Amino acid sequence: MQQQWSEIDTYIESHLLPQDPILSQTVQNTHDKGLAEHLAVAPNQGMLLQMLIQMNHCKRVLELGTFAAYSTMWLARALPADGYVLTIEGREAHALVGQENINNAKLTVPVELKIGRAADVLRELPADTAPFDFIFIDADKQSYPEYIDLCLEHSHSGTIIVLDNVIRAGDIIDPANHKPSIEGIRAAYNKLQNHPQILSCTALQTVGCKGHDGFAIAIVK
Ligand code: DHB
Ligand code: MG
C-alpha cells in the first residue's frame, strides 16, 4: 500500500499545495545534511497545521520537536505579522540544521529556536511568558504525557494542541509492543481521556508518504 499512498500524496500535493522554493530548499538541505527526512511532516500535513492556525486566528505558536524546521515553516507561514513561534529541539545536530533552514527561509515572523529537552526548556521559560494559542507536540514520544501537562500550563481557554505520530502504523494497539515511545503515546491517550482541562479531543489516522500514522487534536477548556 505504501507506494499508492505516496503516489496519492504526490497527486494531492501537485493539485492543492503551492510550489514553494523555500520549502523545497529546506527538504533538500535536510537531505544533504544526511538527516532522516521521514521525521518531518508531509506537505499536506503541514498545510493542515497551517489551516488550523489560520482558522483559529492564532498568533503565538509553540512547537516541541523542531527537527529540521520543516513543520516550523508551515507554522510560521500561517501567522500574521505580529505572530511568534517558539520551537524547541533536543538534539543539537537537528537544531543546527533547523536553525540554518530557518535562517534561509525569509520568514516574516520571529521564530525562536531553543535547544534542550523540551520539558526543561518549558520549565525555564520566564514566569510572565504569555500563553500559546497553538501547540504542536512532535518531540520524543516517550515524554508526550509530560509534554501535555507542561503545554497545558502554557495554554489558555481555546488553545489548540496537536500531537503528531499517535498511531505509529498501529503499534499503539499491539500488546507486544512495549517500546518507550509507544508506551508514551498510550500514556498520552490516557492522559487526554476525560482530562478536566480538555474541552474536546480526537485522533485521526493518516496514510501517505510518511506511512500510516496520525494526529491527535485537543482544545483546551
Ligand atoms: C519519528 C518521529 C516523528 O516525529 C515522526 O513524525 C516520524 C518518525 C521517529 O522518531 O521515528
Ligand atoms: Mg512527527
Site residues for ligand 1, CB cut-off 6 Å? 38-39, 138, 164-165
For 191, which DSSP code?
Answer: H
CA-nearest residue, atom 8 of ligand 1: 39
**Tell me: the pLDDT tens digits for 40-50?**
999 999 999 99
What residues form DSSP beta bridges with 137? 64, 163
Percent over 90 (pLDDT), the chain: 98
On whether the pTM is more than 0.85, the answer is yes
For 193, which DSSP code?
Answer: T
Chunked mean pLDDT (size 10), the chain, 221 residues: 97 95 95 92 98 98 98 98 98 97 96 98 96 98 98 98 98 98 98 96 98 98 98
What residues form DSSP beta bridges with 216? 163, 203
Quote the number of domains for the chain. 1
Q: How far apart are alpha carbons 122 and 137 in whole angstroms? A: 12
pLDDT of residue 80: 98
Q: How far apart are alpha carbons 195 and 3 in whole angstroms? A: 38
Q: How far is the CA of 83 from the centre of ligand 1 (A)?
A: 27
pLDDT of residue 53: 98
Residue 111, domain extent: 2-122+130-220
CA-nearest residue, atom 7 of ligand 1: 39
CATH number at residue 89: 3.40.50.150
Query: Ligand 1 pocket test: which of 142, 165, 179 has the largest number of ligand atoms within 8 Å of its C-beta?
Result: 165
Query: Residue holding cell 514520544?
Result: 141
pLDDT of residue 162: 98
Query: Beta 84-89 vs 111-115: how paired, if at all?
Result: parallel
Confirm if 63 and 88 have CB atoms less than 8 A apart. yes
pLDDT of residue 37: 84
Q: How far apart are alpha carbons 221 and 217 in whole angstroms? A: 13
